[in-house]
Structure 1
Amino acid sequence: MKYINFSTVLMAGVVLIFTTACKKDKTQPTSPDLTNPATNYATAFFNNNLSNGTQTFTINTGQAQTITAEKGTVVHFNANSFVTANGSPVTGTIQIELVEIYSKSDMILMNKQTVGKTWNGVSPLISGGQFSIVAKQNGQKLKLAPGMNYQIDAPAPNGTTSMMGLFYGQIDGEQLEWSPVDSSFVSGNSGIYSAFPDSTGWVNLDYFMNNSGPLSKLNVQIPSGFTTANTRVFVSIDGSSSMAGIYDVESGIFTSGDYYKLPVGMAVHFIIINLDNNEIHAAVVPAIITTNHLQVVNSLNGYSLTQLDALLDNLP
């Protein structure tokens, strides 16, 4: 991987153009379009939140450029970094669409879990920031030119760790899974992580959680009538920037199966969000993982959009 020292670039007198975001700082839940009876209410809800959290910047491809996002993420691009899908050089201005996710509430509201691929399945990741970085020109997606990378500076207000690595994400259906990058380079200094991805799309600063001891799959039983068309179930690990979706349903029970397991004795919160008839119902339930864990949730409460946001902001 080719690494660029951006401080050297700055000292050389390259002019960096700073752009400003056009979206508000706090991601807010938004209502799905319920005018279509075929709408998957849950999918529409989370897709709307993702769209609402997307910031758009315009940069000039012929110069080194820096963009600063609303939550403090800074991204540096080298001059002439992008080519078209067929490899042709790109000139002029382009748009950078950026999503930055640091909090558990944003992870849940945008349905972006932190699970990493391992040799035998997936395992929980502790996130230092999730990002979607997409470059476009005239509505067409661009890719990095051969040998190019860019720099992400992500705030780490709680300090840095040498365990942090770089992951790239792939979405299958609604499930986002992260793969470690062999050529990753991440450094932490003075409350900031700096990373040098050589790919756009979903990028994550993560490290694997130490899952020692016996593990258990997760089963969540919720009231009848709640299905994958109108409901999503998540598990948040207490004290860590880590959460996962529970997407499969067997005999009316949402289950992680053998796909995702957590250590017996771990403290978590289960989050259930139901969206139907233009209303939001939710439950946040604390639990300690037991062998073959079954969490029974008997009822959900109604929330406004603002109340749901506040509820998720209070997750430990």
Structure 2
Amino acid sequence: MSITVLSCKKEGCTDSTATNYNSKAKKDNGTCLYPTKTDPDDPIDPVDPTDPINPKDSTDKENVITETFASLDAFRKANAIPFETFSFDASVGGNFNTTKGMIIKVSPNSLVDYSGNAAVGNIVVRIKEIYSKWDIITSEVYTESYGIPLESGGEFFIDAKANGAPLKVAPGKSLAISMPAQSTTAGMQLLTGGQSADTTARWTPVDSTDTTSRFNYPPPSPPSLYEIKLGILGWINIDRYLHNGQTVTCEFEVTNLPKLDPRNTRFVGIVKGVHSVYQGGAQYSEAGGKARITANRIIPSLPSLHLVYTISDSKLYFVLLEDAPNPNALNSIFMKQITSSDLNEIINDLK
């Protein structure tokens, strides 16, 4: 007679670090389970609250940002201000209200082509309004005139076409525009910035001899509208010149990024208390494995915040400098990853 002896060892998870560890198991059967690392309050995977790249955030326990941009141009396109379009018959004219509160009145037969011939048939008008600091930043239609910061009462672009051909306002004619006033400060004037929507606006006061282009100050309390007579199309702005004090150059070292691509980085000044964003005249380099910024348009006499934002490794990083930088020292800055919607909220909450 033969006797077969069978093993009676109990099987289970024999790893004491596993969540299903079985102290009675004598043989591991491959069923061990381990804790996941998703909870920032879990001591297994603590989040370092001193880490400025990925600080602990009580509103977002995982703190994962999935938004990416191939370039700064892609970021701008994703946050672009859409045009509103309106159409009417040239011989009838039209009145239009935009979603942002602008009122446009076009009289009959008030537009001509670039040969001076009266426009006929269906006319298409495009309008883009820029009122917020965020819209100024993402559109890069800065409130400055040849280096002098401006306080903006509102910027917009307007053009008109017939059968795809550009039109202009007929000699002696004007469009009537009522625009929501972003400032009731005295000293505002009408500026024009060029006729192409795709080029940088270069703000210049409208010729004082042009009687077809004028505007009236709004009443002192909101809601207020600028009443504008417009004999030109293109970029238009209601602004006043701010004090253009002496500029200083400041140096910055980015402690957490090795390099900044000039094509994908911007440095701007945001004037405190008014509606104004101007360029900081920055240049970019690297030293000791860290990115460097040289900003040569810091204006100490103009109280401003300074915003640096960049696309690095397809991610959006920023830093908002609330204190005036020291022109006599290397200023260390840390750029934090952020979503465009969160940065939008931060910028538009500034006073």
Measured against the shorter chain, the TM-score band is 0.7 to 0.9
Length-normalised TM-score, structure 1? 0.74
1:236-275 aligned at under 5 Å gives the runs: 236-246=270-280, 248-249=282-283, 251=285, 253-255=292-294, 257=296, 260=297, 262=299, 264-275=300-311
Question: Are the counterparts in 1 of residues 243 and 302 from structure 2 also a CA contact under 8 Å?
Answer: no
- The amino acid of 1:151's aligned partner reads A
Query: CA RMSD of the aligned region, Å?
Result: 2.9
Moved more, 243-252 or 276-285: 243-252
1:269 Cα deviation (Å)? 1.1
Task: Identify unmatched segments of 5+ residues in structure 2.
Answer: 1-66, 287-291
| Inter-partner Cα distance in structure 2 for 1:294 and 1:136 | 54
Q: State yes or no: 1:281 paired with 2:305.
A: no
Q: State yes or no: 1:200 paired with 2:233.
A: yes
Instruction: Work out the number of aligned pairs and report it.
Output: 269
Length-normalised TM-score, structure 2? 0.67
1:163 Cα deviation (Å)? 1.2
| Inter-partner Cα distance in structure 1 for 2:301 and 2:87 | 48
- Identical amino acids, percent of aligned pairs: 25
| Inter-partner Cα distance in structure 2 for 1:76 and 1:289 | 47
Distance 1:235 1:221, change over 3 A: farther
SS in 1 for 2:79: helix
Q: Map Cα deviations across residues 241-263 of structure 1 (whole Å, 9 max, x no partner).
A: 11112354254555554xx562x
| Inter-partner Cα distance in structure 1 for 2:88 and 2:122 | 5
Question: Are the counterparts in 2 of residues 163 and 207 from structure 1 also a CA contact under 8 Å?
Answer: yes
1:75 Cα deviation (Å)? 1.8
| Inter-partner Cα distance in structure 1 for 2:126 and 2:79 | 15
Question: Are the counterparts in 2 of residues 101 and 131 from structure 1 also a CA contact under 8 Å?
Answer: yes
| Inter-partner Cα distance in structure 2 for 1:172 and 1:136 | 13
Q: 1:45 aligns with which of 62, 68, 75?
A: 75
SS in 2 for 1:249: strand
> If you compute each CA radius of gyration, which structure gives the higher value, 1 or 2?
2
Distance 1:221 1:129, change over 3 A: farther
Match of 2:193 in 1: 169
Higher relative CO (Cα under 8 Å, sequence separation at least 6) belongs to: 1
Distance 1:194 1:302, change over 3 A: same
Aligned structure 1 segments of 4 or more residues deviating by more than 6 angstroms: 171-174
1:1-316 aligned at under 5 Å gives the runs: 34=70, 41-50=71-80, 52-117=81-146, 122-156=147-181, 160-170=184-194, 175-183=200-208, 185-190=214-219, 191-211=224-244, 214-217=246-249, 221-222=253-254, 223-246=257-280, 248-249=282-283, 251=285, 253-255=292-294, 257=296, 260=297, 262=299, 264-288=300-324, 292=327, 296=331, 298-316=333-351
Distance 1:87 1:251, change over 3 A: same
- The amino acid of 2:192's aligned partner reads Y
Task: Identify unmatched segments of 5+ residues in structure 1.
Answer: 1-30, 35-40
1:277 Cα deviation (Å)? 4.1
Q: Map Cα deviations across residues 162-196 of structure 1 (whole Å, 9 max, x no partner).
A: 41110011489964321111335221233221122
SS in 1 for 2:230: coil
